[in-house]
Amino acid sequence: MTDAKLKPKSVDGTEPHGAGNSPQETASTVEVMLPPDAIEPDPELTPEEAEQARKRYLLKRFWISARRYWGRGGDKFAWPFSIGLLAMICMNVGFQYGINLWNRGIFDAIERHDAGTVYFLSAVFVPLVLGTVAIVTIQVAVRMMIQRRWRSWLTTAVIARWLANGRYYQLNLIGGDHKNPEARISEDLRIATEAPVDFIAGVISAFLAASTFIVVLWTIGGALTLPIAGFTVTIPGFLVVTAVLYAAITSTSMAVIGRYFVHVSEAKNQAEAEFRYTLTHVRENGESIALLGGEEEERNDLEKTFANVLKQWALLARQHMRTTLVSHGSMLIAPVVPVLLCAPKFLEGSMTLGQVMQAASAFAIVQGAFGWLVDNYPRLADWNACARRVASLMMSLDGLERAEQSDSLGRIKHGETEGEAMLSLNDLSVSLDDGTAVVTETRVEIEPGERVLVSGESGSGKSTLVRAIAGLWPWGGGSVNFHADRRLFMLPQRPYIPSGTLRRAVAYPGAADSWPLDEIKAALDKVGLDYLNDKIEEEAPWDQTLSGGEKQRLAFARLLLHQPDIIVLDEATAALDEKSQDKMMQMVIDELPEVTILSVAHRAELEVFHSRKITLERREGGAKLVSDIDLIKRKRKRTLLSRVLEKRRSLPKGSTTVSKGPQPQTRN
């Protein structure tokens, strides 16, 4: 959990997050990314059939969201650019046909020794080439523009869903195929949006080229008559028939040889993502690893992970070798086949040299169109794997969103308090996503200016309770309510230090220039980090440079800048020595005398800085709030918990009590 400045009214995530988007764009994004209905697998399917059905649905799930780029709420330039790309493809095929006719004309002129025609066609060739180059260049620019805008649109939408309501955190708490979401959003989503545009453009171009030049082949080649065993066999459109058969053979060979390409490519991408994650994990925890001397163990783990990468690359290399055998062989043979087929007609004088060269050019174009699968099968397999990985992340987000909207699994509600209370927990229960209770039956009301300490043994659910208050833990029951228009600020045990300057780290989550430099330096002075003032504009890896205690001091400096109304401290002084801890707590009380504090801590020394203490006790069926005492006597309204505890103390001897020994001063 990171430091956060939140408006309590948006703790439940009702305000959509869209970094830098206008309200209209944010609304469109949310509308586009609404989760589809859940699909339950057919129980009659075998495990293998169920897995195949799952993979098919993953591709469908990807397109459910991705295709909306061209729909309502998508990019307004999607269709204009798409139509422009289609126009460029048609014009390019037209120029190809022009060059094909030029081939026939130039070679016929050479055969006739017609110098004038040769010179004329040589001059015509220049504008043909320039036109073709211009059209292809514009086509590439438009195609890449579609890819860039589509990727931008879909990435923004997925990130908005990933960050909304703390789902990026909740994914760590649930099962599912969504490991390494950062790799799926960055690399896999890039391939998943780039490749389809290339494929569709390639298919359209191949279809138009094949349609155009099949007519050319049929017209030029005519029929071929062959004497076989005393009979005469006539094959109409023999060049077309040959082109179709040749393409069928190569495409079938590619499909058979590359049938495992998708699976191998998917496994390779997953191995690469895991290797990147392991490297990142080592970098982020470098200090702990170095202090413990764990380099050898980390090296072994990295070598093991990288060995899996090399293994998957070896399997992928075998697939590439097999497909290259077909594609390269086809590329070498295809230009020769039409020449050999047309040679008899040329030798007998029924075809001119220009017609032979035109047929060879047309055959190569048709073969290239029919062989599109041969050339693109590896990339198609790679896209298939990447689209499935992106869709797996989408499905996990779908599940979280449906859980937010469903009543089948309890959800913690967030609202506003009644009266003057700053924070109230009304019958709050916290559970896991499978329904297992962690904290049960918690009822607390915190008044303005109160400083409440939450205590309990390790594993009693204190940190989980804090996450529920912050809105990061959604499962459970009851409600968490804040006073309207009051700001909440969280200080976790491990403060988040963003990249960039020290000034940005102190101002986070606000912008670095939100406060004058003097105010930021003054905040650092008050928390004992004045020796860093000279480096405040310096960019450095502060997350690695600062010690744990310095990071926690810096987090307290943020409090002085943001001036929140409610502070939640989750072991926020655990890295500080007792003297520094006392200084930080006293500084908060002196500088923010009206602030309401909710602290989670183990140290008993912190009691002196709080006016009230509540205790959680781990029990079977979930931790419970067992005591609520005043550390400073104040007149307050009796709470439900106070009345329950008082009633239990008045029970006859031998009855069950909340605790043994002397009873603390309960809240009255």
DSSP states along 404-435: HH-SSS-B-EEEE-STT-SEEEEEEEEE-TTS
For residue 663, the model assigns a pLDDT of 40
Lowest-pLDDT choice from 137-151, 228-242, 299-313, 617-631: 617-631
Cis peptide bond prior to 509, omega within 30° of 0: yes
For residue 521, the model assigns a pLDDT of 92
> φ, ψ for residue 534 (rounded to 5)?
-70, -15
Tell which residue, 249, 247, 254, 259, has the closest CA to residue 371.
247
Over residues 154-169, the pLDDT tens digits come to 999 999 999 887 788 8
**Residue 600 predicted with pLDDT over 70:** yes
Region of 237 please: left (phi>0), alpha (psi -120 to 50) or beta.
left
Cα(412)–Cα(490) distance, rounded to whole angstroms? 19
**Residue 578 predicted with pLDDT over 50:** yes
Whole-structure pTM value:
0.66
Strands 451-455, 596-600: pairing kind: parallel
Over residues 116-125, the pLDDT tens digits come to 888 998 999 9
For residue 40, the model assigns a pLDDT of 65
Mean pLDDT (whole number) for 344-350: 81
For residue 31, the model assigns a pLDDT of 40
Q: What percent of the chain has pLDDT over 70?
A: 84
For residue 498, the model assigns a pLDDT of 86
> φ, ψ for residue 619 (rounded to 5)?
-140, 165
> Predicted confidence band at 85 (pLDDT cuts at 50, 70, 90)?
very high
Over residues 468-501, the pLDDT tens digits come to 887 777 777 788 888 877 788 888 888 888 888 9
- Three-class DSSP category at 66: helix
Lowest-pLDDT choice from 119-123, 255-259, 482-486, 634-638: 634-638
Lowest-pLDDT choice from 118-127, 200-209, 570-579, 616-625: 616-625
For residue 374, the model assigns a pLDDT of 67
Tell which residue, 157, 136, 140, has the closest CA to residue 65.
157
- Three-class DSSP category at 617: strand
Over residues 270-280, the pLDDT tens digits come to 888 888 888 88
> Predicted confidence band at 633 (pLDDT cuts at 50, 70, 90)?
low
Over residues 121-157, the pLDDT tens digits come to 899 999 999 999 999 999 999 999 999 999 999 999 9
> Predicted confidence band at 416 (pLDDT cuts at 50, 70, 90)?
confident
- pLDDT averaged over the chain? 79
For residue 647, the model assigns a pLDDT of 47
- Which carries the bigger pLDDT value, residue 1 or residue 63? 63
**Residue 13 predicted with pLDDT over 60:** no
Question: Residue 610: which residues within 8 A CB-CB, separation 6 or more?
Answer: 451, 452, 453, 597, 599, 631
Strands 231-236, 223-228: pairing kind: antiparallel
**Residue 586 predicted with pLDDT over 50:** yes
**Residue 257 predicted with pLDDT over 90:** no
- Cα 568 to Cα 2, 6, 58, 392, 525: the distances in Å are 12, 12, 41, 35, 23
For residue 406, the model assigns a pLDDT of 65
Cα(572)–Cα(565) distance, rounded to whole angstroms? 17
Q: What percent of the chain has pLDDT over 90?
A: 20
> φ, ψ for residue 12 (rounded to 5)?
-80, 5
For residue 359, the model assigns a pLDDT of 85
**Residue 553 predicted with pLDDT over 50:** yes
- Which carries the bigger pLDDT value, residue 596 or residue 243? 596
Mean pLDDT (whole number) for 393-412: 77
Residue with tokens 């009979």: 231
**Residue 646 predicted with pLDDT over 70:** no
- Which carries the bigger pLDDT value, residue 320 or residue 61? 61
Contact 446, 429 (CB under 8 A): no
For residue 641, the model assigns a pLDDT of 46
> Predicted confidence band at 529 (pLDDT cuts at 50, 70, 90)?
very high
